Amino acid sequence: MQVLEGRVTLRAGDVSWEGSPGDLLIVPQARHSLEAIEESVVLLTVAKLA
């Protein structure tokens, strides 16, 4: 997931990552959540492996 604008927090269990414009966050396979710290725009790209 690429952060285009704003700031976000990606959480999976007890681990979290903060993202700012230009950051690329790898979304874990575990249950996760995304929270916008401020008004944000993100680009989510999904690649399905055969």
pLDDT in tens, 3-42: 999 999 999 999 999 999 999 999 999 999 999 999 999 9
Residue 39 lies in a domain: yes
Residue 2 CA to residue 41 CA, distance in Å, equals 9
pLDDT at 6: 98
pLDDT at 18: 98
Residue 21 lies in a domain: yes
Q: Which residues, in sequence order, are CB contacts of 23 under 8 Å at separation 6+?
A: 2, 3
Work out how many domains the chain is built from and give that number.
1
Residue 48 lies in a domain: no
- What pTM value is reported for the model? 0.87
pLDDT at 49: 83
Token digits of residue 42:
């993100």
Range of the domain at 13: 2-43
Residue 6 lies in a domain: yes
Residue 33 CA to residue 8 CA, distance in Å, equals 10
User: pLDDT-derived band of residue 47, with 50, 70 and 90 as boundaries?
Assistant: confident
